[in-house]
Amino acid sequence: MENGRCKLSNNAEKMILPNRAASAIYYASNKRDPQTIRIMVVMKDIVDGDIFIHNVQKAMERYPYYHIAVAQNGDKYINIHNSRPIVVKHTDKPANLGSAEVNYHMIAWSYSEKNIYLDASHGLLDGISMLEVLKTVLFFYCSEKYDVDLSPDGIITTENKIEDEEWKEPFTDDLILPNDDIGDSYEAYQLPEVWKERATRISFLLPQEEFMNYVKEYHGTPGIVITTFFSEVISRLCDAQNLPIVTTMYVNSRPMLGKNKAGGCLVTSVDLPLTKDMKKLQLGKRAYEYRKMQKEKASKEQILKKVSKQVREYIDNDRIKSLQEKLDKLGKADSVFQVGTFSVSSTGRDPFGSVGKFIREIHNIVIPTTYLIEMNCVNDMFTIDFLQSFSEARYVDEFEKILKEEEIPYIRQKAEIYNTSSVIYDQIDESV
């Protein structure tokens, strides 16, 4: 039953996910950073494997454009339709994406005890699109496991017609602007720690009501408040006098493009420097200044300039003559995203709707360049994941001190050494 085949629509083969953003991420993948994402959902009850496998198959029928394998086509990697079943395994180990063990797919599911795992290439999905797929699976799974009629509000189900916007190329040439200079390039302070092949996750749980009271008091957002706190952590612990502490904050570009239903990876970022004037302010007021800066830099005008630059880069990538040259050039970067001192990615408020009551926690797990903070919210609890490329906990310890100083209640979880999925490309056989 693990490898039961999904019943895809008759025109599924034409629904091939766009390749511009995907290819750039495929080329940038390397042993240090495979450019993969793992979402771990901690349910309140033990996962029923048979029901879970059945409902993954059912839910994935709604997303034919994620049924792909990666193939070499001349001097580039492309997505091709993959008719083999998407694999579900009873394990907590990350998948080897693109390999025979997952039927050459770039997405895989697994479960163990109370945990559900979704592994995917960042070229295929981003955090937003992964959450949409996850909600669909959990909607069907919880409906059957608990024998309840759940509200589908805010959740894509098989009743929702597949629209062209979901799978057609969003990064089109007409998005190139004559002037896309955003004028905010910063040489950011870099943390002194270096990659030690011991990626470590340390998580905090913050009660939603108490944390949001603090957020609202200072007119911020959850992500902005965590940005404020962590930049203060670095100010206290590091000698960052000569270069600014810069937060790379990830932004969902779909609303600015008018493509809210687009699948794939549509993430961009804005850089938020901690200025000298901001350092003089009390933390709450500093959060307010960060929020004003974020609104300006994440405006539609600014994001469209960012996207324009992305499209130019994708075109430049295509002009590189050979696949090996693409891999040599783009695979040298530690990350295709981070340029700041640390990064923050936040989904905001609880997105799970009627299935949220069955979930205890949710964690986004990736390999960070140096430091990445992932934020989720479900069932009246914020999950803050500190993902670092080293095991020492001094930054998290200082963050905990700030929570105490600001009188924000929390639960600190044990540190965990982790890995994400590895990924290989163009290993398909003729039967795909």
Alpha-carbon distance values, 95 to 34, 37, 104, 107, 249 (Å): 12, 11, 11, 9, 28
H or E stretch at 109: strand 107-112
Answer whether residue 320 is part of any domain: yes
Give the phi and the psi of residue 205 in degrees, each rounded to 5. -110, 125
* Concatenated DSSP letters of 61-78: TT-GGG-EEEEEETTEEE
Please give the Cα distance from 415 to 421 (Å, whole number): 19
Residue 159: other Cβ atoms inside 10 A: 7
Please give the Cα distance from 191 to 203 (Å, whole number): 20
Residue 84: other Cβ atoms inside 10 A: 19
Coil, strand or helix: which one is 256? helix
Coil, strand or helix: which one is 346? strand
Please give the Cα distance from 292 to 32 (Å, whole number): 35
Answer whether residue 235 is part of any domain: yes
**E strand spans, 231-266:** 246-252
Q: Report residue 64 as tokens.
A: 């034919």
* CATH number, domain with residue 214: 3.30.559.30
Answer whether residue 36 is part of any domain: no
State the virtual CA torsion across 340, 117, 347, 314 in degrees, nearest 10.
Answer: 50
- pLDDT for res 431: 63
pTM for the full predicted model? 0.94
H or E stretch at 378: strand 371-378
- pLDDT for res 120: 97
Please give the Cα distance from 373 to 233 (Å, whole number): 13
Parent domain of 201: 187-353+366-417
Answer whether residue 83 is part of any domain: no
Answer whether residue 315 is part of any domain: yes
Answer whether residue 401 is part of any domain: yes
Contacts of 111 by beta carbon, 8 Å cutoff, 6+ apart: 47, 49, 52, 88, 89, 90, 117
| Site of tokens 């793992």 | 38
Please give the Cα distance from 4 to 17 (Å, whole number): 23
Coil, strand or helix: which one is 80? strand
Q: Are 137 and 155 in contact (CB under 8 A)?
A: no
Answer whether residue 288 is part of any domain: yes
pLDDT in tens, the chain (432 residues): 355 556 665 566 678 887 889 988 998 887 778 899 999 999 999 999 999 999 999 999 999 999 999 999 889 999 999 999 999 999 999 999 999 999 999 999 999 999 999 999 999 999 999 999 999 999 999 999 999 999 999 999 999 999 999 999 999 999 999 999 987 677 899 999 877 778 999 999 999 999 999 999 999 999 999 999 999 999 999 999 899 999 999 999 999 999 999 999 999 999 999 999 999 999 999 999 999 999 999 999 999 999 999 999 999 998 998 999 998 888 765 444 446 999 999 987 788 999 999 999 999 999 887 799 999 999 999 999 999 989 999 999 999 999 999 999 999 999 999 989 999 887 877 666
Closest by CA to 379, choosing from 355, 346, 409, 347, is 355
Alpha-carbon distance values, 39 to 70, 79, 364 (Å): 22, 22, 5
DSSP label of 14: G
Q: Report residue 34 as tokens.
A: 């495979």
Answer whether residue 219 is part of any domain: yes
- pLDDT for res 1: 38
Closest by CA to 283, choosing from 232, 234, 233, is 232
- pLDDT for res 335: 43
Q: Tell me the Cα Rg of the chain.
A: 21
If one counts the domains in the chain, the total is 1
- pLDDT for res 290: 98
